[in-house]
Amino acid sequence: MLKIVPGSRALKQPDSWVRLAEEQLYNPDTHMLKLRVRMPQQSARAMIAFDDRVRQWVEDNPGSLNIYTGGSADLMFAHLSISNARSMLLSLLVALFAISLFIGFMFRGWRLMTLVFICNFAPLILAYGLLGISGGAITLGSAVVMGMIIGIIVDDSLHILFKYRRYRRSESETAALKRLWTDVIPAVFISSLTMILALTVGLLSDFKPIFEISLFSIVIIFIALLADMYLLPGLLKMRFSAAFQVDP
Angle at 29 between CA 23 and CA 35, to 5 degrees: 50
Comparing CA positions, the residue from 134, 137, 133 lying closest to residue 212 is: 137
Average pLDDT, the chain: 76
> Tens of pLDDT along 173-228?
888 889 989 999 999 999 999 999 999 999 998 887 788 888 888 988 999 999 99
Record the pTM.
0.69
Q: Give the C-alpha separation, 91 to 146, whole Å.
A: 9
Average pLDDT of span 219-243: 81
Angle at 61 between CA 12 and CA 24, to 5 degrees: 60
pLDDT at residue 239 in the model: 60
Q: Which residue has the higher pLDDT, 149 or 244?
A: 149
pLDDT at residue 223 in the model: 92
Average pLDDT of span 155-182: 86
What percent of the chain has a predicted confidence (pLDDT) above 70?
75
Exposure string of 114-132, with b = 16+ CB inside 10 Å and e = fewer, is bbbbbbbbbbbebbbeebe
